[in-house]
Copies of this chain bind each other. A is one copy, B any other.
Amino acid sequence: MKKSLGRKTIIYPHPVLMVGTYDVNGAPNIMVASWGGICCSDPPCVAISVRESRYTYNSILANKAFTVNIPSVSHIKEVDYAGMYSGSELNKFEKTGLTPVKSDLVKAPYVKEFPLTLICKLLKVVEIGAHTQFIGEIMDTIVDEEMIMASGQLDIEQIKPFIYDSSSRSYYAIGEKLMDAYSSL
């Protein structure tokens, strides 16, 4: 039997993305976003949704840039902590011990300790309602060298990303490989 839950924002999975910016004073900040993802192949783009009240909102508009950093399970506590506070209250890089690194390409910091980062230049601002979607053109993708397999593919089992379950408000790991895609004839 199907049951109607009404107008909810539940989807599986939500990613766990850490958005890096400089604030209007040049201080590095991080924001956790679980509403976002790749949205275009050419130009390569990633979208993230941000409320106007968030500290990151004006930082993105001021610098026309942000980074999207994928954390590993080993930093789950730092991510969770960063998701509980605003950059207006405290310096989340300092509090978590994470290291901001200035990108050479855009005016935004990335998180040194996280295995994968998309370096983005703000391409489009889409007003939807309570959330604004910032679409960033991916200028570069940087990865920890040891996450690259001999095949040239990235090793998800080393990257160890995790997901957010918005219904139970908890984080889950990525499990075992199920099958190759494009193999069902």
A positions within 8 Å CB-CB of B: 1-15, 17, 35-47, 49, 51, 68, 70, 73, 76-78, 80-81, 83-84, 116, 118, 123-124, 126, 128-131, 133, 135, 138-145, 148, 153-154, 156, 159, 161-165, 167-185
CB neighbours (8 Å) of A143 from chain B are: 2-3, 5
Contact present for A15 and B7 (CB under 8 Å): no
Contact present for B164 and A163 (CB under 8 Å): no
Contact present for A154 and B179 (CB under 8 Å): no
Contact present for B141 and A168 (CB under 8 Å): no
A38 to B17, CA, bound (A): 13
- Shortest A101–chain B CB gap in Å is 8
Contact present for A174 and B11 (CB under 8 Å): no
Q: How many identical subunits does the complex contain? A: 2
Q: List 7 A-B contacts (CB under 8 A).
A: A9-B38, A9-B45, A11-B17, A42-B131, A126-B126, A172-B177, A175-B175
Nearest residue in B to A32 (C-beta to C-beta)?
B181
Contact present for B174 and A174 (CB under 8 Å): yes
A123 to B7, CA, bound (A): 14
Contact present for B156 and A167 (CB under 8 Å): yes
